[in-house]
Structure 1
Amino acid sequence: MARLLGIGEFSRRSRLSVKALRLYERQGLLRPAEVGVGNGYRRYREEQLATARLVALLRRLDMPLAVVARIVAAPEDDRADLVADYWAVVEHRLAVQRGLAAHLRVVLSGGKGLLDMYEVKQREVPEQVVLTEQRHVLQPALVDWIGAAMNRLEKAAGACGGISAAPFVVYHGEVNEDSDGPVEACVPVDVASGPTSTASRVEPAHREAYVRLKKAQVVFPQILSAYDAVATWVKENDLVIADSPREVYFADIAAAGPDDEVCDIAFPVR
């Protein structure tokens, strides 16, 4: 007959407190093998120690109980992947919070250290024809609209020989919870390949001042620090902003990790 361990001994050997064991029992996460009918005394099987120790380690990651329960209940071959998926989400959240903290330090210090956060560069952008879609949109709905508009424009680009350069989004007015732009999604194309019913225009050649952002930095409101950095750099270098600022998306942001470079914040200058 398998040996049963009292809750005190099980607590010591599993490195889980008695209080934690009672909580996990109520949650259905780690139930005793036996509960005394008269005295309610709890006993555990020795082989439950492996599960208990796994729970203890997972909780040290500040993992919510619901996630712990899902990993414990999963087949052993799937557990490592579930932990990796959870930690990827945590790392992305921490990267975003790190950017927000940096943004807040700049805001609360009156802009001090802003240009130390980013490396501003310049480049020449040739004239290009772009398929466009424009909309007045408030910040809470911005990301969804950009994604949908870009999908429509990228499909339409097939009739024009495909996408010829990185898509970009132009902000013709401020976008926040109260101001709605307008915003213009643009996909460069080779119009010599065929006509399209989608609206298009010529984007003139120009020089740009820009900074490159990682995925974790492309989040509102900390992304505003990048805009402020480029605008400040332009002013300090005796240049003039010549057109509306834009976000240039040169990578697949959905597939990127938090530290992957995905986007430029750019201002046409002269």
Structure 2
Amino acid sequence: MSESSEPLELTRGEFARRSGLSPKALRLYERSGLLVPHRVEAANGYRFYLPEQVGVAVRVRELRRMDMPLSMVAEVVAASPAEAVGLVRAWWRVRQEVERSRQAMLERVCDLVGEHGPERAGAVRGAGSQEESGEGVWSTSLETVPAVTVACARARVGLQELVETYLGLAERVRRVLVGQGARVGEQTWVVYHGTPSPDGAALIEVAVPYEGVAWPERGVSLRWEGAGVWLVAEVARRDCFYPRIMGAYAAVERGLVERGLRSVEGFREVYVRPWESVGEGEAFAWVVRPLARG
């Protein structure tokens, strides 16, 4: 077909054929706002698309084949080409982090259900004490932390989606800060305003400390975190997965009682360094309870 004979509009069937998307997928993407028809006939509801929308549809198709969620696909499609590449690469880094976490969880579960499951399970139950568990000792310390400004994003999430959600929020917050020229530190905080579980969602907040000038954007807010003292259990990278990390939570709870301390805030996890820069036995995260002032 010559360029001059290219139709001005494509029917839904022709658009589906050219883009490789099924009519069912096109209906889904229309409802989500990703691929809205150029025109809908009032009399019969027939949908018509522009030929130039085929390129957008192909990008949507390939992003969805990578299991990218619709909300992220919408961001990529709306971005400039250079920004879109950065978004896709950032999302893929998150996926890799999630897979590493799940691999560690897989190995742990295989140990628990395997031949030596009961002995292994006993080690996990004892991990919150100061006794040797065969996997190290959980201990606590007091850390004085300076005042800092943080950029934050919030979401309600269940346990299954927790890692992917907070990594995605952290990437978004960092992208906003870097785009505004702020200086971003290595730490990432996950502040729990509830307890995510396999059966229910809870509110979490991802916060990234920064220096310099920044301003809020949609979904990203700024707040001032005052100086204070935290009760901390240090977590090595090899231990930073569920349920192993729960030993650190138990140690912090016990430490509050043993030291006669009081916390008016919930738990937070503070990731002190990037995953790839930390060895298996090195400190990767803190499990924290901020202490009441005064």
TM over 0.5: yes
- Greater RCO between the two (CA within 8 Å, min separation 6)? 1
- Aligned partner of 1:180 in structure 2 is 201
- Aligned pairs, number: 179
- Aligned partner of 2:236 in structure 1 is 214
1:122-201 residue pairs with structure 2 within 5 A?
Answer: 122-158=142-178, 159-164=180-185, 166-190=187-211, 192-197=212-217, 198-201=220-223
Task: State the Cα distance separating 1:97 from its structure 2 match.
Answer: 6.5
Q: 1:235 aligns with which of 257, 270, 284?
A: 257
Assess if the C-alpha contact under 8 Å between 1:132 and 1:185 holds in 2.
yes
Q: 1:114 aligns with which of 107, 110, 129?
A: 129
Assess if the C-alpha contact under 8 Å between 1:242 and 1:269 holds in 2.
yes
Please give the alpha-carbon distance, in whole angstroms, between the structure 1 residues aligned to 2:291 and 2:110.
30
- Aligned partner of 2:287 in structure 1 is 265
Identical pairs, percent: 21
Assess if the C-alpha contact under 8 Å between 1:160 and 1:189 holds in 2.
no
Larger Rg, first or second structure (1 or 2): 1
Task: State the Cα distance separating 1:178 from its structure 2 match.
Answer: 2.0
Task: State the Cα distance separating 1:211 from its structure 2 match.
Answer: 1.2
Assess if the C-alpha contact under 8 Å between 1:127 and 1:204 holds in 2.
yes
Assess if the C-alpha contact under 8 Å between 2:188 and 2:270 holds in 1.
yes
Please give the alpha-carbon distance, in whole angstroms, between the structure 1 residues aligned to 2:201 and 2:105.
27
Change (3 A) 1:112 1:264: closer
Spell out, residue by residue over 1:177-222, the C-alpha distance to the aligned partner (whole angstroms, 9 max, x if none).
12322111000112x4243423111222221010111122111122
Task: State the Cα distance separating 1:259 from its structure 2 match.
Answer: 2.5
Which amino acid in the other structure matches residue 289 of structure 2? F
Change (3 A) 1:266 1:93: closer
Change (3 A) 1:230 1:113: closer
Please give the alpha-carbon distance, in whole angstroms, between the structure 2 residues aligned to 1:189 and 1:126.
12
Which amino acid in the other structure matches residue 235 of structure 1? V
Assess if the C-alpha contact under 8 Å between 1:160 and 1:196 holds in 2.
no
Task: State the Cα distance separating 1:261 from its structure 2 match.
Answer: 2.1
Please give the alpha-carbon distance, in whole angstroms, between the structure 2 residues aligned to 1:250 and 1:106.
26
Structure 2, gaps ≥5 residues long: 1-102, 132-136
Change (3 A) 1:118 1:163: same
- Alpha-carbon RMSD: 3.2
Task: State the Cα distance separating 1:229 from its structure 2 match.
Answer: 0.8
Query: How does the TM-score come out when normalised to structure 2?
Result: 0.53
Which amino acid in the other structure matches residue 184 of structure 1? E
